[in-house]
Amino acid sequence: MKLCLLPALASERDTSSRHTVPTPRWFGSGAKWAVLLLAACSPSAASTPDGQAPGPGPGPVAGGPEQVAHQVVTVVDDLSNPWAVAWLPGGDMLVTERPGRLRIVRDGTLLRDPVEGVPAVRARGQGGLLDVAPHPDFAGNRLLYLSFAAQHDDGGASTVVVRGRFENDALTGVEEVWVAQSRGRDHFGSRIAFDADNYLYITAGDRQVSPRGGLSELAAHPAQDLSTHHGVVVRLHDDGRIPADNPFVGQEGVLQDIYSYGHRNAQGMAFHPETGDLWLNEHGPQGGDEVNLILPGRNYGWPVVGYGVNYGSGSRIHVGSHRDGMEPPAHYWVPSIATSGLMIYTGDRFPQWRGSMFVGGLAGQQLARLTLNGQTVTGEETLVRRQGRIRDVRQGPDGLIYLVFDRPGMVARLEPGAG
């Protein structure tokens, strides 16, 4: 049984480059500020295709982001396609490598031997060992969570999340917490986050099911189907049980663990440490990367609405950029920077950046800083350019900003300095 939303088609279509989308409800106006390291700020220009009237555009921002001197310093290198980083209470840093290894960085040194007990993964295409997250009560229960692409007997693969006890540099008692009910080639999603009440959130991508056709065909895409895990965020108890207050609990034909849907391939997700807001970024196609504020039960529109175009041909995917019943992004990029990794900074090493959102870019090879005013994105600054494909962005326990570079395979950090 397929359950899809088919709200009224919007008439406007806006393809402005990199900006915030205002709406009457809780999104405000904003503008794109692209800033090279220690360079002057300048607002972006908007454009509309084919003589169409412009959609709702960004308003002016009162002043650009404040320039802060910083430098990128290598922490560890010689990694093989690292995907995520996390810290344990004792100070050890864990790094996942997509071929299936979990590595330990202790006292600034990458240990030679990977962690034992990691499950076998399907390390092909975009699959492999992906995210890692310690339980919020790790100091007491030693539980460590991993997401990865798992091989099925029929040759397919799904996103899987497991947990095990991490002791003596090994993982034991590994058990499945969640298995996605979706198959496909790539787009595994796989980010993990815990909220303040220890509920577990997981992203699952649309599995690279190509969108085709008009409204009826796009609305039948698996990312609009609540009976599958294509393009969703799920919410679980820490042991995999489904919370009774999930938005679709009790609805027939719907997967009860779904929290939000209509996503493409979300590879960055984080809770704002101070407000509790859940933020997510989505890797778009050729254009249309998004930052979204995630609300329970909401439809985020992929592939019915959006700002992306097909790879290569540049042909239109969507039937518009706005539609009743589908949430607009808080911010988007055209062309795509290939977003991956998201973090809200609350440290004291860069006090001018407190409260900012940081988003990594893979193909764009950049780190974007987005300024926030409540739930509104008000500006953008580019801090790192052309130093590699940024897969993950995290705040370390030392208050510095850590970057995981897929290529070159390394972990680096931003430190205060001359740049």
Position 256 in a domain: yes
Burial class from Cβ neighbours inside 10 Å (0-12, 13-18, 19+) for residue 417 reads: exposed
Position 154 in a domain: yes
Tell whether the torsion through CA atoms of 66, 407, 283 and 363 is positive or negative. Answer: positive
Kindly report, residue by residue over 133-182, the tens digit of the pLDDT: 999 999 999 999 999 999 877 777 889 999 999 999 999 999 999 999 88
Do residues 415 and 71 lie in contact, with contact meaning Cβ atoms separated by under 8 Å?
yes
Position 1 in a domain: no
pLDDT exceeds cutoff 80 at 404: yes
Picking from 7-21, 193-207, 351-365, which range would have the lowest pLDDT averaged per residue?
7-21
Tokens 């397929």, residue? 2
Position 231 in a domain: yes
| Residue (of 418, 325, 341, 310) closest to 82 by Cα position | 341
pLDDT top residue among 357 and 36: 357
pLDDT exceeds cutoff 70 at 406: yes
Range of the domain at 145: 49-416
Q: How far apart are CA 341 and CA 359, in angstroms?
A: 6
Which H/E stretch holds residue 219?
helix 215-219
pLDDT, residue 10, reads 31
Q: What is the DSSP string of 365-418?
A: TEEEEEEEETTEEEEEEEEEESS-EEEEEEE-TTS-EEEEEEETTEEEEEEES-
Q: How far apart are CA 162 and CA 181, in angstroms?
A: 15
Which CATH number characterizes residue 386's domain? Answer: 2.120.10.30
The pTM of the full predicted model, rounded to 2 decimals, is 0.86
For 71, how many CA atoms within 13 A lie in the half-sphere containing its CB?
Answer: 7
Do residues 395 and 343 lie in contact, with contact meaning Cβ atoms separated by under 8 Å?
yes
Position 3 in a domain: no
The residue from 70, 135, 187, 331 that is catalytic is 187
Number of structural domains, the chain? 1
Position 367 in a domain: yes
Tokens 């700002």, residue? 307
Picking from 103-107, 195-199, 307-311, which range would have the lowest pLDDT averaged per residue?
307-311
Question: Is residue 187 annotated as part of the catalytic site, yes or no?
Answer: yes
Kindly report, residue by residue over 5-25, the tens digit of the pLDDT: 333 333 222 333 555 554 322
Q: What is the DSSP string of 152-174?
A: -TTS-EEEEEEEEEEETTEEEEE
Q: How far apart are CA 306 and CA 322, in angstroms?
A: 7
**36 alpha-carbon distance from chain centroid:** 23
- The bridge status of strand 266-271 relative to strand 278-282 is antiparallel
Spell out the residues 6+ positions from residue 154 whose beta carbon is closer than 8 angstroms to its own. Answer: none
Q: How far apart are CA 257 and CA 373, in angstroms?
A: 31
Kindly report, residue by residue over 136-149, the tens digit of the pLDDT: 999 999 999 999 99
pLDDT exceeds cutoff 70 at 119: yes
Which region holds residue 201: left if phi is over 0, alpha if psi is between -120 and 50, else beta? beta
Count other C-beta atoms under 10 Å from residue 240's C-beta.
Answer: 17
Position 295 in a domain: yes
Position 186 in a domain: yes
